[in-house]
Amino acid sequence: MLGTLLSRLGTLIGWTVRLAPAVAVGSLFFALDGGLRWLGLLGLPLLLVALRHRSPGCGPRGCNLAGDKVPGHWPAP
C-alpha cells in the first residue's frame, strides 16, 4: 500500500515538473504584446515533450534501462 502511494506521488511530481514549465512559457503568448508574444510558442515543444510517456532522451525503441541487452538498445554492449 505504501509502495503504491509513493509510486503515485512520484508520478504526480513527475507530471508537475514536466507540465509547469510548458504552461509557464505557453502563457507568455497571452501575457505579452507585440513581437514578444511569439515567445509563447516555445511552450508547444515543451508541452509535447511533457505529454510523451517516454523520456525525451530515449530513441524510438526506448532506453532499455532494465538491462535486457537487446541488440541496438542503450547502453551498447
Q: Which three cell numbers stand for residue 49?
A: 515533450
Range of the domain at 24: 16-53
Q: Check: pTM over 0.85? Answer yes or no.
A: no
Residue 23 falls inside a structural domain? yes
Q: Could you tell me if residue 11 is inside a domain?
A: no
Q: Is residue 46 part of a domain?
A: yes
Per-residue pLDDT for the chain (77 aa), expressed as one digit of tens each? Answer: 888 888 888 888 888 888 999 999 999 999 999 999 999 999 999 888 888 766 556 666 666 555 555 555 555 54
For residue 75, being part of any structural domain is answered with no
CA distance 15 to 35: 31
pLDDT at 68: 54
Residue 41 lies in a domain: yes
Question: Looking at the domain assignment, is residue 3 inside a domain?
Answer: no
Position 61 in a domain: no
The answer to the question of residue 28 being in a domain is yes
Number of structural domains the chain divides into: 1
Q: Would you call the peptide bond into 60 cis, given omega within 30 degrees of 0 as the criterion?
A: no
